[in-house]
Structure 1
Amino acid sequence: MPYFLAIDAGTGSGRAVLFDETGAEIAASGQEWWHATDPRYPGSMDFDTAGNWATLARCCREVIAAAGVDPAEIRAVSATAMREAFVLHDETGAEIWACANVDARASAEVHDLRARHPELEAEIYARSGQTYALGALPRLIWLQRHAPETLERARSLTMLSDWILYRLSGELTLEPSNGGTTGLLDLTTREPLTEALKTVGLPTDLFPRIVQTGDVIGKVTSGAASETGLPEGTLAVAGGGDCQTGALGLGVVKEGDCAVMGGTFWQQVVNVPLGLTDPTMNLRVNPHMVAGLNQAEAISFFTGAVMRWFRDGFGNGRSYTELEALSQAVPPGAHGIIPVFSDVMRYGDWFHAAPSLLNLSIDPALGGPAAIFRALQENAAIVSHRNLEAVFALSGHRPERLVFAGGAARSAHWAQILADVTGLRVTTPKVSEATAQGCAVAAATGAGQFASLAEAGGAWARIDREFTPDTSLRGLYDEAGDAWARAYAVQRDLVRAGVTTSMWHAPGTLG
């Protein structure tokens, strides 16, 4: 039987997941990680290419051993990764600099760009769907100022998904669903915005060969084979950004389809036609992997990380499952607790308030771990709902259902909360590792099992459960959402006033 391997470099973990020809998950191996801050540069978030590659290679060996399959039956491997993170390579291909996705060191550079070229960000957004918030342009200018010798040595820029495939095959490529998050690819043509680079005095030839998801870019080398346990010569197939591969794995491949992917970050995505962008610049628009489509997207920051923080800091050794079991006894509304963590998407003015829990009771029954855990779950759904409604208003289309996937979707309780808050039918997939499954879809397409990505995504997507909204709760959750929005606005003002410290802010938004 043929098998397909997906390698995923996520924000909070690295993993390898093996699938068979039917799309069934056979085995998985992963390890949590985080990314170091360089103490010299506030807001920095470095990506350790050597250490993290060792982690991913070990995951590959472990998943092959756990599956007990003949490695020769693994027909193809592909890669997916957190978006926005990128790697610079020198003329030999060696990695010389890398950052993780929410690296925010280039704040001064954003301020300078806006002062010197006041129309440039809007022009870039109109063509790429991206602002400076997580884009590559300010970071490259930061390098030009702070590490000019590194930028001078740079000959290629790859995203992390491309970098994994380079480690496997030795081929330097750029795939648009992830490469588009640099803010330097055109949404329609998928070609580099060389004029923007030229305007600010940056090299215009950093992008390597552009490929499409599902393209075979090379084969696993002997060196990579010894590191990963994959056979030399295994097909290496272009993958892409984690959100887009997740949508592909869920079968979200038609215009109007929407999904919520619940991981370290929560992404709310809706497929939209080419040419659509947001006049307010609140939402981002990314290239879809499927030809003729883009994706409007909003992001809830650190949703999964907040749950991990609460489990580790306040759970008294309880697991997520145990905390959730306790929280189910808490009534909807969680006794009025208002969590303040991620804001709704404000791509043009993107910063979050200081992490806070408001309206806590000193009665442990009303303000203890169970109530807070439920409040965090409800708040994740409230932020997602408000983000989705912004996309629906932009696109002019409101679907009848959404797909909920990722680690959070393993919780039936959370899926029901999401249905109750949004008022939409919520479906969860049989395979919760949608991002990895979409990556394996790309590998299978590259190996010739499917004629197109859309066909492959539809063939492997399977619904496990469906959750119907409880309409009697809609008023309660609408009121809770309004209260949260009012409280969050005040909390943002406190950050602006310097009273509190933002959980995260995009470069150039504060200070």
Structure 2
Amino acid sequence: MHPPPGVDAGAVRAVSTTSMREGMVLYDRSGHEIWACPNVDSRAGDEATELVREGLAEKIYRQGGDWVAITSPARLRWIQRHEPVVFRNAAHMNMLADWIAYRLSGEFFTDPSIGSSSGMFDLATRKWSPEIVNICELDREIFPRVLEPGTVAGQVTAAAAADTGLRAGTPVVVGGADTQLGLVGIGMVDPGNFTVIGGTFWQQTIGLGEAKIDPKARLRTLCHALPGQWMMEGIGFYCGLSMRWYRDAFCDLEKLEAERTGTDAYVLMEKAASGVPPGSNGVIAILSNLMVASRWIHASPAFVQFDVGDPTRSGRKECMRAIEEAAAFVSLGHMRTIEEITTSTIGEAVFTGGAAKGALWRKSLLTSSGYR
């Protein structure tokens, strides 16, 4: 990693880091990485089931705000069972964004927004939970100090400067989790602010002034990237991913035309789908289900209700619109769940992310939800 050509390293005033959530890294006593995984690593499924059966998953959720499927407690149990040497030698743990900061500064720390995605925080205190640490049978000293985003935590080391082209001594500032920092960037952080983030995965989020946790264990709560604030979210895993899959699997013509004309294939796809009325002429896309953190089940992705006798009204363009409508109804479902949990009524939403560039995506959200 080096600054872009023509950028003077001395002009870089500070550096910070962010990453996907849930991904974690373990280190030995010398500070060398000995184990790591990304957020979607699901090898610890059996261990997560055990935590549910033992009643520990519920305890963890009530304090940490997220279920055990892809968080650290189940993963640490998997490591203890399958890689016991790694487990015994683990002297430090942090999250992926923290790992980048560690490589830059040599300092171990986390922040509440990404640290809480481990599932090992006491959300109310915005600190590591001693009870959850004990459940994982680890020493408290393994877990790094917790600093608020924006805190200067260290400086770029000489070794990191040699590797990156940054200037040694450049301040390393605490960053945070990708979603929470994105919300800070668009100013949607205050309690009651509702946002739909349309990326590969879609998230429907609301700012909270307290560590409110869903009593029915459907949605998850994490610390926000600002002091004294939290965030609740539902996730639609297939919402954006499914449109990318459809483009790459079925829209070669649009991709070729986009290359020829210098436009975006998604623009051409939406242009075709915009002539389809709401309801996609009866075609339904079965993709993301509503989030139920404690028992999240998705049907096999499919399209149903084609009229094989009328291909002009039941074909590719209908599928494109059906994908967008499916995402809109997942967003509506999560909004209704958030309203139930927070006993509030949401009348306004901000739509951001790559999908927000699509006029039909925006129209589909408006049609399904009544947002403004």
TM-score (norm 1): 0.68
Equivalents in 1 of 2:135, 2:14: separation in Å?
Answer: 41
1:255: Cα distance to partner?
1.0
Give the counterpart of 1:169 among 78, 84, 105.
Answer: 105
Aligned to 2:293: 347
Give the counterpart of 2:195 among 259, 264, 284.
Answer: 259
Gaps of at least 5 residues in structure 1 are 1-56, 426-511
Are 2:123 and 1:187 equivalent residues in the alignment? yes
1:174: Cα distance to partner?
1.4
Letter in 2 for 1:344: L
Give the counterpart of 1:217 among 132, 140, 153.
Answer: 153
Aligned to 1:141: 77
Letter in 2 for 1:70: D
> 2:328 touches 2:368 (CA, 8 Å); kept in 1?
yes
Equivalents in 2 of 1:374, 1:231: separation in Å?
Answer: 50
Aligned to 1:322: 268
CA offsets 1:193-235 (integer angstroms, 9 cap, x no match): 2223323534433211211111111122233334333333222
Aligned to 2:141: 205
Are 2:302 and 1:360 equivalent residues in the alignment? no
Aligned to 1:495: none
Aligned residues between the structures: 361
1:284: Cα distance to partner?
0.7
Aligned to 1:489: none
Aligned to 1:369: 316
Counterpart secondary structure, 1:157: strand
Are 2:365 and 1:418 equivalent residues in the alignment? yes
> Taking every aligned residue pair, what percent have the same amino acid on both sides?
40
> 1:187 touches 1:274 (CA, 8 Å); kept in 2?
no
> 1:258 touches 1:403 (CA, 8 Å); kept in 2?
yes
- State how 1:409-488 maps to structure 2 within 5 Å: 409-425=356-372
Aligned to 2:242: 306
1:385: Cα distance to partner?
1.0
Letter in 1 for 2:293: Y
> 1:87 touches 1:95 (CA, 8 Å); kept in 2?
yes
1:107: Cα distance to partner?
1.5
Aligned to 2:37: 99
> 1:273 touches 1:294 (CA, 8 Å); kept in 2?
yes
Equivalents in 2 of 1:229, 1:325: separation in Å?
Answer: 45
Structure 1 stretch 410-419 or stretch 237-246: which is displaced more? Answer: 410-419
Are 2:229 and 1:293 equivalent residues in the alignment? yes
Equivalents in 2 of 1:399, 1:326: separation in Å?
Answer: 32
1:178: Cα distance to partner?
0.8
Equivalents in 1 of 2:362, 2:167: separation in Å?
Answer: 40
Letter in 2 for 1:346: V
TM-score (norm 2): 0.92
> 1:134 touches 1:181 (CA, 8 Å); kept in 2?
no
CA offsets 1:35-72 (integer angstroms, 9 cap, x no match): xxxxxxxxxxxxxxxxxxxxxx3xx54xx23xx54332
Alignment RMSD (CA, Å): 1.7
- State how 1:381-420 maps to structure 2 within 5 Å: 381-420=328-367
CA offsets 1:162-217 (integer angstroms, 9 cap, x no match): 11111222222111111101111111112212223323534433211211111111
Counterpart secondary structure, 1:365: coil
Gaps of at least 5 residues in structure 2 are 256-264
> 2:45 touches 2:69 (CA, 8 Å); kept in 1?
no
Equivalents in 2 of 1:275, 1:305: separation in Å?
Answer: 30
Q: Which protein has greater RCO, CA pairs closer than 8 Å, 6+ apart?
A: 1
> 1:335 touches 1:366 (CA, 8 Å); kept in 2?
yes
Counterpart secondary structure, 2:140: coil
1:346: Cα distance to partner?
0.3
Are 2:79 and 1:79 equivalent residues in the alignment? no
